[in-house]
Amino acid sequence: MQDILSVKNLKKYFVKKGFTGASKEITRVADDISFSIKNAETFVLAGESGSGKTTIARLILRALEPDSGTISFDGQDITNQKDDLKKIRLGCQMVHQDPYASINPRMTILDIVKEPLEIHNIGNKEERSRLAMVALGQVKLESDDIASKYPHMLSGGQRQRVAIARAIVTNPKLVIADEPVSMLDVSVRIGILELIKELQEKHGISFLYITHDLSTARYIGHRIAILYLGKIVETGPINEVLSSPRHPYTQALIDSISEPDPDNLHRDKKIRINEPSNADAYQGCRFRPRCPYAIEKCKQEPELEKVSEQRQVACFVKID
Ligand SMILES: Nc1ncnc2c1ncn2[C@@H]1O[C@H](COP(=O)(O)OP(=O)(O)O)[C@@H](O)[C@H]1O
Ligand SMILES: [Mg+2]
């Protein structure tokens, strides 16, 4: 199957200058990130808060320039196409954690969903309204009543559905959903996950599902990449990775959700990692200071290695 998105050796470092301008702190937010997403696949990027997930999304959408690396979308290298970003901005849409990030509170729901069609100059006025109503139908908000309302009149779950309708109205091939349920009331999360699943299965949309929560990831994902401090430490089919993790960090993340069953969707977990304060944190394996299995060799940096046909792990120990 062809890849819809392919990211190779993507790098982005942020440099924070000290008060005097002399001391510098470098955060390696994306450090040699490579992965690809197949057509009609839900690929999960999982990691704790601060691990670099949103930055990777912004790099893909070119809201941020990578320091190096390449990004191909739908078979075309878009890394250096500064003038022609329309292809990715039309073909790849984003759903944010906070629905208000993409919806204007002063516009009606219909106008909000129609707006991307206007931006990309698709259809005439009637056609845009028709397509917006189709998109609202796809997210199960088809009533005329809702179309004429304003965002504050809806529930949080309904607002996130509007954000999803807005993302799919242009018929994108890939949707990046950045923690789309983490700000929602636990009782409505499952409905949004079911919707994403349905959009993927019925309409063949590929998803990059970004989360800090493995229980929601397991519910909708096909393959997963586990991110730790800007590096992918483990990747492979989601069921294999979550049922027999080989990286101690994956194991730790799984342990933090005691039982990976749907009931956990109703629990909220947010762990914060200790951000590295200096360059030492990037010497050798980044997980070493927290790793119960660390050995002398872990002072060197482990690279991703194949452990089976579809799985890769960056660890010298590779737990069983
Ligand atoms: N524009 C920026 N300038 C400097 N540091 C940033 C910037 N954006 C993000 N960071 C830092 O990069 C790291 C990763 O952030 P982010 O990608 O938002 O992580 P996540 O989405 O996984 O929580 C954090 O340490 C954050 O403070
Ligand atoms: Mg984020």
Q: Which ligand 1 atom is the nearest neighbour of the CA of 178?
A: 21
Residue 57 CA to ligand 1 centre (angstroms): 11
**Whether pLDDT at 276 is above 80:** no
The answer to the question of residue 43 being in a domain is yes
Q: How high is the mean pLDDT of the chain?
A: 89
Please state, for a pLDDT cut of 90, what percent of the chain lies above it: 76
| Dihedrals phi, psi of 224, to nearest 5 degrees | -140, 150
Pairing type for strands 206-211 and 174-178 reads: parallel
The model's confidence at residue 81, banded by pLDDT at 50, 70 and 90, is confident
- Whole-structure pTM value: 0.91
Q: How far apart are CA 146 and CA 153, in angstroms?
A: 9
Torsion of CA 167, 168, 169, 170, to 10 degrees: 90
Question: Residue 84's pLDDT is what?
Answer: 66
* CB of 230 sitting under 6 A from ligand 1: no
Question: Residue 47's pLDDT is what?
Answer: 94
The answer to the question of residue 234 being in a domain is yes
The answer to the question of residue 122 being in a domain is yes
Q: What is the side-by-side strand order in the sheet with 24-38?
A: 24-38, 3-17, 68-73, 76-77
Residue 14 CA to ligand 1 centre (angstroms): 8
Handedness of CA 262, 38, 157, 226 (dihedral sign): positive
* CB of 14 sitting under 6 A from ligand 1: yes
Q: Tell me the ligand closest to 281's alpha carbon.
A: 1
The answer to the question of residue 189 being in a domain is yes
- pLDDT of 149-197, one tens digit each? 999 999 999 999 999 999 999 999 999 999 999 999 999 999 999 999 9
Over residues 283-302, mean pLDDT: 93
Residue 210 CA to ligand 1 centre (angstroms): 14
Q: Which ligand 1 atom is the nearest neighbour of the CA of 227?
A: 22
Domain count, the chain: 1
Residue 94 buriedness (CB in 10 A; 0-12 / 13-18 / 19+): buried
* CB of 182 sitting under 6 A from ligand 1: no
Residue 227 CA to ligand 2 centre (angstroms): 12
The answer to the question of residue 147 being in a domain is yes
Give me the CATH number covering residue 168: 3.40.50.300
Pairing type for strands 231-237 and 305-308 reads: unpaired
The answer to the question of residue 318 being in a domain is no
Over residues 269-281, mean pLDDT: 50
Query: Closest Cα to atom 8, ligand 1: which residue?
Result: 55
Residue 274 CA to ligand 2 centre (angstroms): 15
The answer to the question of residue 319 being in a domain is no
Question: Residue 279's pLDDT is what?
Answer: 58
Residue 52 CA to ligand 1 centre (angstroms): 6
Residue 151 CA to ligand 2 centre (angstroms): 23
The answer to the question of residue 262 being in a domain is yes
Q: Which of 55, 56, 96 to mutate to test the pocket of ligand 1 (most atoms within 8 A of CB)?
A: 55
Q: Which of 27, 183, 226, 228 to mutate to test the pocket of ligand 1 (most atoms within 8 A of CB)?
A: 27
Chain position carrying tokens 């206007």: 118
| All residues at 6 or more sequence positions from 307 whose CB lies less than 8 Å from its CB, including other chains | 246, 313, 318
Q: Which domain holds residue 272?
A: 3-313
